[in-house]
Chain A
Amino acid sequence: MTELGRYTRLAGMAGLAILAMTVPSMAQEVEEIAEEAFELSAPETAYIFNTLLFLMTGFLVMWMAAGFTMLEAGLVRSKNVAMQCTKNIGLYSIAGILYYLVGYNLMYDGVDGGYFGSLSLWGVDDSAGASADGTGYASASDWYFQMVFVATAASIVSGTLAERIRLWPFLLFTVFLTGFIYPIQGAWQWGGGWLSEMGFSDFAGSTIVHSTGGWAALMGAIILGPRLGKYVKGGGINPMPGSSMPLATLGTFILWLGWFGFNGGSQLALGTVADANAVATIFINTNIAAAGGVVAAMALTQLLYKKVDITMALNGALAGLVSITAEPLAPTLGWALGIGAIGGIIVVLTVPLLDKLHIDDVVGAIPVHLFAGIWGTMAVPLTNADTSFAVQATGVVSIGLFVALTSLILWLALRVTIGIRSTEEEEMMGMDKAEIGIEAYPEFVTN
């Protein structure tokens, strides 16, 4: 320390001492605060940081609902934009209510290696407090964090079925998806069920969240059928370009931002240096995987179509993110880049494949969330030696079968009872006018 610095510091301390002497109560307060700070135990500090991680990454994941909404608003035609917004705010809210009513406890309460938890309301229980091993957290922060995940799964379905599904049948499906289908398969792994005992690994949910949403979307797309005029007789495909590339891009960036919460928060703890290192590593792996997905999709569309397809680049970002979600911690940056890039390639190759099969996925959610989700889950053993391809495949297939079958039954039941599809006239008029009576972009305004 320089002489000058030392004198300045001494002078400052002397000043404080004089101030403290002249104001005795302040001196006492300063002492008390100092004492309290020292009384905070290590487990309590860990408890606070763990809770903070859940809350902060949780609201990042909540914001992904906005990302999905903007992405879908941009990729549907302008006559269906307000409907898409309505579906998204509706599904997010339904997911949050159902997760309280049945979802959380069905997923986490007393699964014990089995297939599902208990049918009961969730309630705050902080009786455990700050456990000595530093793994404690506020129970509500954990509930909140898990709740925003189920909303993500529901959002995936919304985009695929856009422009032709009616509002209430869709929301009714969301009730079953978020209240029962998602929590049951989630219990198998994250709730401590049979898959987790077997050694399955799905860090933040490539399979549990993304493939689940993807399977539900795929079954919905098959039962619902394609949009009018999408597939022309004789094998022709009639593209229906989206209404706003800026909104779709904004939505993708919001999802990308939210994903730091999705993957980073899935470390579930921030109370130790090891946890802090892990969360930071997850952030950079998540980012580079998305970047790899974008660049791969841009390069491949340039090669295949002589022009970069912006919608494929956006899908490529999301596919990269989904791919790294099953294991965002173990890979090096190089591995994460490669895993994400393959996700981007999968999207560019499978979007036209679905079109060939006449499965109409408006926003590309099935390639992004289902196909890249399977890839990400199967890629885990490449970088995580504690896992095996056989067990990963067991998880992918068992959850896939369960979600696909239950979704198929549900979509069929909805179709034969209340009906899921709008009439031809309504579809041509646009869902905005037909279903909710309001246009996203009213252009002929007379007053």
Chain B
Amino acid sequence: MKLVMAIIKPFKLDEVREALTAIGVQGLTVTEVKGYGRQKGQTEIYRGAEYAVNFLPKLKIEIVVAAGQADAVVSAISGAAKTGQIGDGKIFVISVEQVLRIRTGETDAEAI
């Protein structure tokens, strides 16, 4: 099993969700996050004083899928989230040791 964790631009969420639904992903978790990468921040002015906005708002999506499905999920996300502009985000794939569905007690592949 793999955890696919992606940082994307907030306004790309709907497109990403549609792309994932199309390849049969059953569920995902979204978190509002802030951070920076190569995009760095930007400069704003408030009441006559400049300040750097170092942390830009992004969304983090997390999906756990069977190992064989991970590549399809990664390409679905990267296809849907891409604008070609700096700040599109990143995708990480991490191995997952165990999954358990709280309601039924099912584990691993059955619980995904």
Contact = CB atoms under 8 A, between A and B. Distances in A.
* A and B from one complex: yes
Contacts of A348: 48
A239 B45 CA distance: 8
Contacts of A240: 46
Q: Which of B47, B48, B49 counts the most chain A CB atoms within 10 A? A: B47
B11 interface: no
Interface size class of A (residues with CB under 8 A): 10 to 19
Contacts of A311: 46-47
Interface in A298-317: 304-305, 307, 309, 311-312
A351 interface: yes
A309 B47 CA distance: 7
Contacts of A352: 47-49
A238 interface: yes
Contacts of B46: 239-241, 309, 311
A171 to B, nearest CB: 27
A237 interface: yes
Nearest to B45: A305
Contacts of A355: 47-49
Contacts of B49: 237-239, 352, 355
Interface in A236-251: 237-241
Contacts of B47: 239, 309, 311-312, 351-352, 355, 364
Interface string B33-70: 00000000000011111110000000000000000000
Nearest to A352: B48
Interface string A128-142: 000000000000000
Contacts of B51: 238-239
Nearest to A75: B47
A355 B47 CA distance: 10
A312 B47 CA distance: 7
A309 B48 CA distance: 8
Contacts of A238: 49, 51
Nearest to A307: B45
B49 to A, nearest CB: 4
Contacts of A239: 45-47, 49-51
Contacts of A309: 45-48
A20 to B, nearest CB: 70
B32 to A, nearest CB: 11
Interface in A316-343: none
B112 to A, nearest CB: 27
A441 to B, nearest CB: 15
Interface in B1-58: 45-51
A54 to B, nearest CB: 37
Contacts of A237: 49
B37 to A, nearest CB: 23
A311 B45 CA distance: 11
Nearest to A306: B45
B57 to A, nearest CB: 14
A351 B49 CA distance: 10
Interface in A343-391: 348, 351-352, 355, 364
Interface of A: 237-241, 304-305, 307, 309, 311-312, 348, 351-352, 355, 364
18 contacts: A237-B49, A238-B49, A238-B51, A239-B45, A239-B47, A239-B50, A239-B51, A241-B46, A304-B48, A305-B45, A307-B45, A309-B45, A309-B47, A311-B46, A312-B48, A348-B48, A352-B49, A355-B47
Given A239-B46, A309-B45, A309-B46, 14 more contacts: A238-B51, A239-B45, A239-B47, A239-B50, A241-B46, A304-B48, A305-B45, A307-B45, A351-B47, A352-B47, A352-B48, A352-B49, A355-B48, A364-B47
A-B CB proximity, top 6 nearest: A352-B48, A239-B46, A237-B49, A305-B45, A239-B49, A239-B51
